[in-house]
Structure 1
């Protein structure tokens, strides 16, 4: 298979995995609801999947480097397929055992997702594809898969029941394992494990991911910005938007419309950004996109009850958000040494995803303490302040980095040839 064909195959495997995961995100809680009738247990299942997902991307990343990226991808996909198959095969499974299987699947997915992202870069370079185009296209396809996956998941649950939908998720992971085993050569340097003599002790390797991120002058401010966006976005999605819809429109259709316009904006923005990305300055685009994707989307709920206005601002925020994840993905590829990318990606994901559970809790407490509209206005104002401070910090850091780089470049130019 040609280098471009191998890249497309791995890219497709990753997107298929996202689609299957989206289906299971609906099917497993639904299975719990119809078998136990407990909304609380639905929440526990979601938490049992998310926490191991975040943690494994950090603590298991050094083991993935030691074991080899190709092997790790195949093992995690096969393990995820078996865990999903176990859930689907025994829908009346005792709840504690179900939590264990869900947690195993979440941990395997967390590590497998990080490894697949790292493996995309060498295959893209071998195929002559720009990294920024790869991250932009991946963001667009992933968002489309998430958008379509919700609808497909609902239909599959309706047609085949929750166990049938979960069987499909298991099949997607098995397919991913087959694709990687088939198209990624075992001799690929990026997929092979290091020699025993080159292996670092576990704790040294774990610290390497943190050091690689904090040593860079630009990445820490970008990671902090993503943490802020995830925190306020979760408060928005989990608390503010549902309560605003209930209070102003009284119809669940509006909820789908608000979420759908954001996703549509993100998908359209990904298509446009894929074309324009090579002509843009990545770091500035990231900060501007983050600023537009955060506070305006929150504040509009506090100043207007007009669904058209809210959807319009939400659509623009989706357009802006389409530039955020691809840019930081490309900069991680370009600025982090390949031998520590698995660990650095895991650390980045863990830090930024920490904002998700915090945001949901703080959003609920704010509404309980202040009421919906004041909570939205306070949250939007805090989001605006945080993104503004981080943008100013980024300008200062970027200027310092350029000042430090310029004398070195002048010194090189001054050397006699």
Structure 2
């Protein structure tokens, strides 16, 4: 197989894996809702997946380098497939077993996602494909997969039930493992420093660089808070609103798909007009539009059309966030440190995900859905406005040139 075809297969495998992840985002919370009826347990199971994802994304790279990136990718996807089959077929094991299975899947997904992204660059160079072209195409396809996966997850639960949806999810991971195992032989990724560093020393170097960059830290902390709100919405608030108002799972996919569709359109608009806009102000405004409005509309409206319209607009707003942060990482971090700093930055940005899932379930249990939505919307708005206050505003981030690693959930 030619290097160009191998690159195509590698990108396709990553997108198929992402599609499976989107299906599980819908199916697993619905499984918990059906089997327990507990909002708190819905949040707990989402947190059980996201926390190991964060840890393996930041801490698993040294071991992945030793095992080999391609082999790690195959093992991560094959393991995810097997565990998702277990989740689908053994609900009688109980909630505690479900938490363990989902946690292991999260750990596998974290390291599996990282190694695929590391494999992209050497594969593109071997194929003679410009990185700018690759990242632009991948961004558009990734948004499309997210759009399809969000809607498809809800529809699969509706058509085949939760068990059938989870088995389809498992099949997507198995296909990904087979594609990489049979058809991808990329050249070795660029090695790290000439003199190998110890595990802890390498991690410390990434922490030191990130700790010195006020701009990156400010942006990452805003996104961590935003992700907390996003995951509370996906894991708890939106499913409960759909269950209470629409009385069925089909609308869940529509609401999630509306946000993804808005983000896809926003990506196109930002690609065309983003370089003309003030970078950090655009980042802050996009984060504000992408968080609070979608919560407020769930609290204040029972009309699906209104919720879909506001959610779509929030997706447009958030489309600027990933490119601006991603380019800031690429331009501010030396090449020798990018692998570890990108992993640490992604983990910090995603740190709000497990807390958001738990907080979402607890807040609804304690106060009810509408009060929880209102409080979370106010928190989200305050956090996204604070960095613009005098004394807290960092230096403007660079204008975007290409797609960078995602650190904001696409849900």
> Structure 1 178/331 Cα, relative in aligned 2: closer, same or farther at 3 Å?
farther
1:13 aligned to 2:13? yes
Q: What residue in structure 2 maps to residue 316 of structure 1?
A: 313
Which residue does 1:80 correspond to in 2? 80
Could you tell me which residue of structure 1 aligns to residue 342 of structure 2?
Answer: 345
In 1: Cα distance, 2:226 partner to 2:214 partner: 20
- The equivalent of 2:51 in structure 1 is 51
Counterpart CA distance in 2 for 1:174 and 1:308 is 37
TM-score by length of 2: 0.76
Match of 2:108 in 1: 108
SS state at 2:130 partner:
coil
Deviation at 1:13, TM superposition (A): 0.9
Inter-CA distance 177–206: structure 2 relative to 1 (3 Å threshold):
same
Matched residue count: 393
Shift of 1:111: 0.8
| Structure with more contact order per residue of length (Cα contacts < 8 Å, sep ≥ 6) | 2
Give the alignment's TM-score, normalised by structure 1.
Answer: 0.75
Aligned partner of residue 178 in structure 1, secondary structure:
helix
User: Which of 283, 288, 308 is matched with 1:286 structurally?
Assistant: 283
Residues of 1 paired with 2:304 and 2:27: CA distance? 30
Using the alignment, how far apart are the partners of 1:107 and 1:101 within structure 2?
Answer: 10
Deviations 1:22-48 (A, max 9, x none): 3345556677788xx445677665444
User: Could you tell me which residue of structure 2 aligns to residue 137 of structure 1?
Assistant: 140
1:261-319 superposed Cα distances (whole Å, 9 cap, x missing partner) = 32321233234445556666655543331122123333445566666544433221111
Runs of 5+ unmatched residues, structure 2: 399-411
Query: For the pair shown, which has the larger CA radius of gyration, 1 or 2?
Result: 1
Matches within 5 A, 1:10-409: 10-25=10-25, 37-39=35-37, 45-85=45-85, 99-124=99-124, 126-130=128-132, 133=136, 136-137=139-140, 139-151=142-154, 153-154=156-157, 157-158=160-161, 162=163, 165-182=165-182, 184-190=184-190, 198-238=195-235, 258-274=255-271, 283-301=280-298, 308-363=305-360, 375-392=372-389, 396-398=393-395
Query: Does the 8 Å CA contact 1:7/1:124 hold for their aligned counterparts?
Result: yes
Instruction: Give the secondary-structure state (helix, strand or coil) at the position aligned to 2:394.
Output: helix
Residue-by-residue CA offset, 1:95-148 (whole Å, 9 max, x unaligned): 766654443322111111122223334445641141762563254134224324
Residue 74 of structure 1, CA deviation:
2.6
Taking the aligned partners of 1:343 and 1:171, their CA distance within structure 2 comes to 31
Following superposition, the deviation at residue 400 of structure 1 comes to 11
- The 1:18/1:316 distance shift into structure 2, 3 A limit, reads same
Q: Is the 8 A contact 1:235 1:361 kept in 2?
A: yes
Output the CA distance in 1 between the equivalents of 2:307 and 2:33.
32
2:19–2:146: 8 Å Cα contact kept in structure 1?
Answer: no
Structure 1: distance between partners of 2:241 and 2:216: 35
Q: Deviations over 1:330-350 (max 9, x none)?
A: 443444344444433332333
Whole-angstrom CA distance in 2 between matches of 1:3 and 1:331: 30
* Structure 1 residue 169: Cα displacement: 3.5
Runs (5+) with no aligned partner, structure 1? 402-417
